[in-house]
Amino acid sequence: MIKAVPAMAGRSINGSFCGMTMVQHDVEGEVLFLHRNQHKLTGMENEYNTDIGAPQPDEYPDPVIWTHLLSFRNNTNTNLYLIDAYRAAPEFPQSQPCYGKRNVENQKLFELQDITRMSFAGIEADIRHFAFEAARIRQSREVQWVGEYPNNSAQGIVFR
C-alpha cells in the first residue's frame, strides 16, 4: 500500500509556492512519478512559456517549473491532508492555476524542499532538452502541427 499522499512539484518565489505537477510516491515513500500535465513540453517558444519564466539560461524554450517539492510531513494524520487550488499573482501569472499551499513559511503540515538536493535533480533539464531536440527534428522534416499540440493520428500531421 502507498502510504505517502501525493506531493506537488512547482516553484517558490518570495515565499509563495505554486504547485504545477502532481508527484506520486513508491511503496517506500520515495518520489516515483511527476505528472507534468499542466505544462506540456513542446520544445518551442510560445507566449505562455514566456509568461511562466522561459527561456531559461540553458536556452530551452520550455519553462523550468520544478524547483521545489511541497510534501505532507511524515507522521502527520492524513485526515488533515488538504490541497488548495489558487492563483498566486503577482509572483505567478494570473492565468496560472496553482495547487498546494501558497504561503509555505507558515506551514506546519507541509514541508518545502529544494529539488536540487533530491536524487532526481536535473531530470527536468533532461526532458526539456529531449523536447527541444524533438522539435528541431520535427522542424527539419517540415512536419507541421495541427492546433496547439500535435495530433497523434496521421490526419493531424502534414508532411511536405
Structure confidence by residue, pLDDT tens digits, 117-131: 999 999 999 999 999
| Per-position DSSP letters for 57-92, written without gaps between them | TT--SSPP--SEEEEEPTTS-GGG---EEE--TTTS
Closest CA to 10 of 85, 108, 109: 85
pLDDT at position 160 is 38
Question: What cell does 38 get?
Answer: 499542466
Q: Which residue has the cell 493531424?
A: 156
pLDDT at position 149 is 56
Structure confidence by residue, pLDDT tens digits, 82-115: 999 999 999 999 999 999 999 988 889 999 999 9
Q: Give the DSSP H or E segment for 136.
A: helix 123-140
pLDDT at position 138 is 86
The CA distance from 101 to 123, in Å, is 24
pLDDT at position 103 is 93
What's the whole-number average pLDDT of the chain?
85
The CA distance from 44 to 143, in Å, is 13
pLDDT at position 144 is 63
